[in-house]
Amino acid sequence: MVSIKTQVGIVGAGPAGLLLGQLLTEQGIANVIVERQTPEHVLSRIRAGVLEKGTVDLVREAGVAKRMDREGLRHTGFDIAFSGKRFRVDLEKYSGGSFVMVYGQTELTRDLMEAREASDMSSYYSAKDVRLRHLTTQKPEVTFDSNGENISIECEYIAGCDGFHGVSRKSIPSDVITEYEKVYPFSWLGILTETPPISDELIYVNHERGFALCSMRSPTLSRYYLQVDGDACVENWSDDHFWDELRIRLPPGDTSNVVSGSSIEKSIAPIRSYVAEPMQYGRLFLAGDAAHIVPPTGAKGLNLAASDIAVLFKSITLAIKEGRTDAIQRYSEVCLKRIWQVQRFSWWMTNLLHNFDNNPFSYRMQLAELDYFTSSESGLTAIAENYVGLPNPAVD
Ligand code: APR
Ligand code: PHB
């Protein structure tokens, strides 16, 4: 058994774990990252691509914004299509001058991994049998096997950033945690294509046959999604079938603007809302997908992970550098207030835009709601201020 000591043990090298590691490293706080997969595997996952202004600011604070600021696309609005027409939500106007940045999660992860490699903090990839122990003591530990060697890391704090299927949440006794979950009766089928996007901005489509989304990664790389049945299989969706269905769901005026091409990635994601409360147990703190999942409508998953990290980073820094533990004790409570607000918006957008039950009355209710929200200044303000991101909680 090899024993190592550090200040913060981070489980998981997704965007949450890597971002926390980078922020702590910048502050001179020692940290070790333990990840189950290889770096290549982590980078092969295609996830969302819209960063809230608060996430952009945090990435800049972490000192890893160079490529994002050069290549990211600043979007000041997005479209909602319904009743065969498109309506632009002017984010800048209705959010008091804010914006979102289109920059793929994979690219952000790559930037964070490069910064990590250039730092002198250690990371263990391909870690087997990761376990957490002594969580309610002053010296919690992360243990795992790396290349046949048994390693134990003694920490002051552990950040559980290991996603929905990770070991961290499962290490909290079940009578301490309450889980809230809603599983939706449909999935999203996504494709990535080396074709120019249909429009300069994103289009969220409400259609009787189901939701569609036209998104992008760059001026030459498009990301499209279709709502499909919960039991749909990728094998049953050829590229041609995908493009045909997308064209049907778009407003008639946009159909001819679709530039189709063969997909370079195609995957199906189930849609769920999930929250685990509380997000802390002893010296273990959950962040990101380890504690909550939102449906992707509204692109909040990565942003919610980033706002947890903003709070966790500041709270750990206060505890380690100033010996003040009041903020870290309130971590879960502070994060959950915002998390429930973001859950509400993601759930609302999902309800507004998807076909749940093939019921014409439900569809007419959606159209009435869309009509109401898009013709009211306060309705548009409510959409815009949530879409660009609610303020990150103050930690002081
Ligand atoms: N031990 C170590 N690492 C683990 C373990 C484990 N037992 N289980 C899972 N992991 C790793 C995963 O391999 C993954 O790389 O933890 C990482 C978690 O990363 P994500 O799932 O990306 O979660 P997070 O960092 O919270 O990112 C937030 O935003 O767009 C959304 O859901 C999307 O990934 C996204 C998220
Ligand atoms: C994406 O580009 O992958 C994306 C964009 C917006 C969403 C969800 C996903 O709401």
Tens digits of residue pLDDT in 62-98: 999 999 999 999 999 999 999 999 999 999 999 999 9
- Residues lining ligand 2, CB < 6 A? 48-50, 202, 213, 215, 223, 296-299
Is the pLDDT score of 47 beyond 90? no
pLDDT (tens digit, 9 = 90+) per residue, 67-77? 999 999 999 99
One-letter identity of residue 249: R
- pLDDT computed for residue 234 by the predictor: 96
**What are the tokens at 194?**
């080396």
The first and second tokens of residue 314, run together, are 């500041």
| Model pLDDT, residue 396 | 87
CA 163 to chain centre: 10
For CA atoms 272, 223, 341, 60, the dihedral sign is positive
Ligand 1, atom 26, lies closest to the CA of 288
- 204 annotated active-site: yes
Residue 354 has pLDDT above 90, yes or no: yes
66 is catalytic: no
| Mean pLDDT, residues 227-253 taken together | 97
Residues 6+ apart with CB under 8 A from 363: 208, 355
pLDDT band at 48 (very low <50, low <70, confident <90, very high): confident
**Alpha carbon of 296 to ligand 2 centroid (Å):** 7
Question: If you average pLDDT over residues 221-233, what whole number do you get?
Answer: 96
How does DSSP assign 210-263, residue by residue?
--EEEEEEETTEEEEEEEEETT--GGG--HHHHHHHHHHHS-GGGGGG-----E
If you average pLDDT over every residue of the chain, what do you get? 97
Question: How far is residue 88's CA from residue 374's CA, in Å, rounded to a whole number?
Answer: 9
Q: What is the pLDDT of residue 102?
A: 97
pLDDT number for residue 46: 81
For 99, phi and psi rounded to 5 degrees? Answer: -160, 175
CA angle 171, 174, 176 (to 5 degrees): 95
pTM as predicted:
0.97
Q: pLDDT digit string (tens) for 248-289?
A: 999 999 999 999 999 999 999 999 999 999 999 999 999 999
**Catalytic residue at 180?**
no
- pLDDT at residue 200, rounded to an integer: 96
- Give the separation between CA 249 and CA 84, rounded to whole angstroms: 9
Single-letter residue type at 396:
D
| 321-348 confidence digits (pLDDT tens) | 999 999 999 999 999 999 999 999 999 9
Nearest to 352 by CA among 369, 327, 332: 369
The residue to mutate among 100, 189, 215, 300, having the most atoms of ligand 2 within 8 angstroms of its beta carbon, is 215
Owner of token pair 């409510």:
382
Predicted confidence at residue 380, as pLDDT, reads 98
| List 207, 266, 300, 354, catalytic entry | 300
Check pLDDT > 90 for residue 45: no
In the structure encoding, which two tokens stand for residue 102, read together? 């289109």
- Closest-CA residue, ligand 2 atom 7, reads 299
246 in ligand 1 pocket by Cβ < 6 Å?
no
Q: Which residue has the tokens 């005026």?
A: 253
Report the Cα 332 to chain-centroid distance in Å. Answer: 18
Taking only Cα atoms into account, the Rg of the chain, rounded to an integer number of angstroms, comes to: 21
pLDDT in tens, 103-139: 999 999 999 999 999 999 999 999 999 999 999 999 9
Q: If pLDDT is split at 50, 70 and 90, which confidence band does 165 have? A: very high
Question: Which tokens hold the place of 121?
Answer: 């903090």
Catalytic-residue membership of 296: yes
From CA 238, how far away is CA 147, in angstroms rounded? Answer: 41
> Which parts of the chain fold into alpha helices (H)?
15-26, 39-44, 53-61, 66-71, 91-94, 105-118, 239-249, 301-322, 326-329, 331-353, 360-374, 377-387
Scan for tokens 């003040």, then name that residue. Answer: 324
List Cα–Cα distances, 75 to 66, 111, 353, 387, in angstroms.
Answer: 18, 21, 21, 11
